[in-house]
A and B are shown apart, each in its own frame.
Chain A
Amino acid sequence: MKSFWLAGAAALLFSSSAFAGDTIKIGFVSTFSGPTAVIGNDMRNSFELALDHLGRKMDGKPVEVIYEDDQQKPDVGKQKTEKLVQSDKVDFIVGYIWSNVLLASLKTAVDSQTFLISANAGPSQLAGELCSPYVFSTSWQNDQTPAAMGLYMNQKGVKSVFLIGPNYAAGKDMLAGVKSTFKGQVVGEEYTVWPSQLDFSAELSKARASGAESIFVFYPGAAGVQFLNQYAQAGLKEKMPLYTAFTVDELSLPLQKDNALGVPGAQEWVNDLPNEQNKRFVADYRKKYTGLRPTYYGAQAYDAAQLVNSAVVAVKGDTSKKDAMKAEMEKANFKSLRGAFKFGNNHIPIQSFYLQDVVKDADGQLSLKTVATIVENDQDRFHDKCPMK
Chain B
Amino acid sequence: MLLVVEQFLNGLQFGLLLFLLAAGLTLVFGIMDLVNLAHGSLYMMGAYFAATFVAWTGSFVLGGVMALGATLLLGIVLEFTALRHLYGRDHLDHVLATFGLILFFNEAVRLIWGPAGLALPLPSWLAFPVTILPGIQYPAYRLAIIVVALLVALLLYLGVMRTRIGMLIRAGASNREMIGALGINIKLLYTLVFGLGAALAGLAGLMQAPILTVQIGMGENILILAFVVIVIGGIGSIRGAFIAAIMIGLIDTMGRAFLPNLLRQVLNSASASTAAPALSSMLIYLLMAIVLVARPEGLFPANRR
Residues of A within 8 A of B (CB): 34-35, 37-38, 41, 167, 172, 189-193, 196-199, 201-203, 205-206, 208-209, 222, 225-226, 229-230, 232-235, 251, 254-257
Contacts and interface: CB of A to CB of B under 8 A. Distances in A.
B119 to A, nearest CB: 4
A222 B215 contact: yes
B14 A37 contact: no
Given A205-B257, A225-B119, A35 B276 contact: no
B129 A191 contact: no
A203 B257 CA distance: 7
A233 B141 contact: yes
Main secondary structure of the interface of A (DSSP, over half): helix
Interface stretch (B55-63, B88-96, B120-128, B148-156): B120-128
B297 interface: no
Given A34-B217, A193-B281, A226-B213, A235 B274 contact: no
By Cβ-Cβ distance, the 4 closest A-B pairs, closest first, are A235-B129, A201-B10, A255-B119, A233-B139
B185 interface: no
B290 to A, nearest CB: 21
A235 B257 contact: no
Given A34-B216, A191-B276, A209 B6 contact: yes
B13 A233 contact: no
A35 B212 contact: no
B259 to A, nearest CB: 10
B69 interface: no
Given A35-B218, A254-B116, A206 B257 contact: yes
B211 A191 contact: no
Contacts of B77: none
B3 A205 contact: yes
A34 B3 CA distance: 35
A374 B151 CA distance: 52
Contacts of A197: 256, 277, 281
A167 B277 contact: yes
Contacts of B257: 202, 205-206
A62 B142 CA distance: 56
A235 B273 contact: no
Interface in B217-232: 217-218, 221
Nearest to A259: B121
Contacts of A201: 10, 13-14, 142, 253
A235 B277 contact: no
B2 A209 contact: yes
Contacts of A229: 210-213
A251 B212 contact: no
Which of the listed residues A203, A209, A256 has the most CB atoms from chain B within 10 Å of its own CB?
A209
A226 B6 CA distance: 20
Contacts, number: 105
Given A35-B216, A199-B14, A167 B119 contact: no
Contacts of B116: 38, 251, 254-255
Contact of A255 (B117, B122, B137, B269): B117
B118 interface: yes
Most A Cβ at <10 Å: residue of B118, B137, B273: B273
A190 B273 CA distance: 7
Nearest to A236: B129
B7 A191 contact: no
Contacts of A251: 116
B10 A205 contact: yes
Contacts of A205: 3, 6-7, 10, 257
Interface in B125-176: 127-129, 137, 139, 141-142
A192 B215 CA distance: 20
Contacts of B202: none
Contacts of B212: 198-199, 226, 229
Contact of B273 (A37, A38, A41, A191): A191
6 contacts: A197-B281, A198-B212, A233-B139, A234-B129, A234-B137, A235-B139
Contacts of B216: 34-35
A188 to B, nearest CB: 9
Interface string B1-29: 01100110010011000000000000000
Interface in B267-292: 269, 273-274, 276-278, 280-281
Nearest to B221: A196
Interface string B98-131: 0000000000000000011111011000011100
B40 interface: no
B240 interface: no
Contacts of B14: 199, 201
B260 interface: yes
Contacts of A202: 7, 10, 253, 256-257
A199 B280 CA distance: 14
Given A202-B256, A205-B3, A235-B137, A193 B274 contact: no
A207 to B, nearest CB: 11
Contacts of A34: 216-217
